[in-house]
Amino acid sequence: MTQHATSPPAVNKPRYALDIGSTIVKLAQLDANGVLESQQFYPRDFEAGIARQVGDLLTGLGIDVQNEAILACSSANGGLRVGIVCLSKHFSGATMRNQTLLAGANPEFVHDFDEAKGDTRRVDILLVGGGIDCELPGPAQALLRDFDPANYRYGALVYAGNRFLADGFVRRFPGTTVIPNPLADTLASRVGSVFETVRRAYLDDLVFKEGVSELPGNLGRSIRPTPEVANRGFLRAVQNHSTFTIVGACIALDIGGATTDLHYTVEVVSDGSPVRPAGGVSVARYVFTDIGIVASRDTLMAQLRGHTQLYEFLGAVLGPDVRDVFASLREGEYTPSPTLLSYACLFLALDRFAKGRGPGLPTGDLDKVAQIILTGGAAQTLDVAVALRVVSLILTPGGAPPLIQIDRRYEIWVGGITWTEDMPT
């Protein structure tokens, strides 16, 4: 018997789907085939924490976390908090801080060894480094010998200094992760060092953040990252196994508090792109860890203030008379609304995709795009007409505009979280 491509695949009795985001907790009730019946939204309770809020929420609704089938994913808690201890704030400290910001994390402090007496703020990563790679380490050796990470509150200790001193540091502090010195041996900034380590830790942290693993029942062990769920939902729609119809070459942007996640069909990649998606795939994704409306707000605003099309962007969103807003925003004196920040996520993510500005990000040809889907919590307040004006700033003038849709029922997410592992990918 032949199964039609449009028939939704049956799944094994899911009843609830849970998404723990940076700003909201979303709970959906599903029928036996994984079709959305209803959904409810709850603001994140940062005082209670993830485990207690979710446990109380499910208990209050009469949902038995031990026996009910609950599908869960998370992008909770926003950006990583990074503390930096270094030989010099002007060289190693500045390099590590810049690469931390570039990776979308939040540098909580930068201390040189002379003032490394401790800090009460808890950080996810304590990054220690300084000096260039040389066998005659000079003062760095003595300063490291006197340094005690016990004065700090951190989750992981990472050493990124002179490689000739790394073994001694690890002997003193077992469990330290050693990464290449970002200053190498010539004070040249090695971009892939701290940046890649922090970015990778950030992506892993979308699931394994403190509090998520403490969720009740089996949730903490079975929870999945929201970007992966959204990508599977996008793939399901592209393969015509979803309630969301794809009309051609397509992009989906999942705009959230901590990240903006780009999902795209591979045919939108520019023919001349120096970076290509992996072979044999029909869709790919990229996570902009420094573009989001809450946890990544500072890095989002920094990019927006420095953009050459800032005035045109403000005009597309706010109307023609934006001189005062433009001036105050450039000076850091304007407080944008969450909706304006969401449009900024859309604009900056597409602009960077069109220019291939991101490690491992292909260059996109947006004139090939027939459809743009906007999803995620931060996309819900957007207007299609305004979004089209923003997108048009990046397109070639006179070309056919793409169809823009806002996924107000989170159908992409539902499709991804209910797609079981034995289905075709």
CB 162 within 8 A of CB 137: yes
Q: Which residue has the higher pLDDT, 418 or 104?
A: 418
Q: What is the mean pLDDT of residues 36-58?
A: 87
Cα 81 from Cα 264, distance rounded (Å): 30
The residue behind tokens 């002997």 is: 171
User: Are residues 222 and 420 in contact, defined by beta-carbon separation less than 8 angstroms?
Assistant: no
The CA distance from 32 to 389, in Å, is 41
Place of tokens 């944008």: 336
Token reading at 194: 């701290």
pLDDT(389) > 90: yes
Place of tokens 């599903």: 30
Look at residue 229 and tell me whether its pLDDT is greater than 60.
yes
**Model confidence at 146: pLDDT above 80:** yes
* Mean pLDDT of the region 206-233: 75
Between 339 and 361, the higher pLDDT residue = 339
Whether residue 192 is predicted with pLDDT greater than 80 in this model: the reply is: no
What burial letters (b/e) apply to 107-137, b meaning 16+ CB within 10 Å?
bbbbbbbeebeebeeebbbbbbbbbbbeeeb
44/405: higher pLDDT = 405
% of the chain with per-residue pLDDT over 90: 40
What pLDDT is attached to residue 221?
67
Based on its alpha-carbon atoms, the radius of gyration of the chain, rounded to whole angstroms, reads 23
Q: Is the pLDDT of residue 327 over 60?
A: yes
pLDDT attached to residue 280: 77
Lowest mean pLDDT among 58-67, 340-349, 360-369, 406-415: 58-67
The CATH homologous superfamily for domain 16-77+206-224 is ATPase, nucleotide binding domain (3.30.420.40)
Q: In whole angstroms, what is the distance from residue 341 CA to residue 288 CA?
A: 15
Which residue would you say has higher pLDDT here, 360 or 160?
Answer: 160
In 3D, which of 260, 295, 305 has the Cα closest to residue 46?
295
Domain ranges (residues) in the chain: 16-77+206-224, 81-204, 245-406
**Averaged pLDDT score across all residues of the chain:** 85
The whole model's pTM is what?
A: 0.72
The contacts of residue 68 (CB under 8 Å, 6+ apart) are 15, 16
The token pair that represents 308 in the structure block: 């050459």
pLDDT of residue 128: 92
The span from the CA of 283 to the CA of 105, in Å, is: 27
412 pLDDT more than 50: yes
Q: 81-204 sits in which CATH class?
A: alpha beta
Instruction: Over range 193-218, report the average pLDDT.
Output: 71
Any residues with CB less than 8 A from the CB of 359 and at least 6 apart, and which?
191, 192, 195, 196, 199
Tokens of 29: 């009730």
Q: Can 16-77+206-224 and 81-204 be said to share one CATH topology?
A: no
**Does residue 165 or residue 219 have the better pLDDT?**
165
Cα–Cα distance for residue pair 304/316, rounded to 1 Å: 14
* 245-406 is classed CATH 3.40.640: no
What gap in Å lies between CA 71 and CA 294, rounded to an integer? 25
Look at the block and give the residue holding tokens 């499910």.
58
Burial readout 321-341 (b: 16 or more C-beta within 10 A, e: otherwise)? ebeebbeebeeeebebeebbb
pLDDT of residue 5: 46
Q: Assign 3-class secondary structure to the chain.
A: CCCCCCCCCCCCCCCEEEEECCCEEEEEEECCCCCEEEEEEEECCCCCCHHHHHHHHHHHCCCCCCCCCEEEEECCCCCCEEEEEECCHHHHHHHHHHHHHHCCCEEEEEEEHHHCCCEEEEEEEEEEECCCCCCCCCHHHHHHHHCCHHHEEEEEEEECCCHHHHHHHHHHCCCCEECCCCCCCCCCCCCCCHHHHHHHHHHHHHHHCCCCCCCCCCHHHHCEEHHHHHHHHHHHHHCCCCCCCCCCCEEEEEECCCCEEEEEEHHHECCCCCCCCCCCCCEEEEEECCCCCCCCHHHHHHHHHCCCCHHHHHHHHHCCCCHHHHHHHHCCCCCCCHHHHHHHHHHHHHHHHHHCCCCCCCCECHHHCCEEEEECHHHCCCCHHHHHHHHHCCCCCCCCCCEEEECCCCHHHHHHHCCCCCCCC
- Calculate mean pLDDT across residues 4-24: 66
Q: How high is the pLDDT of residue 424?
A: 40
Tokens representing 63? 């949902």
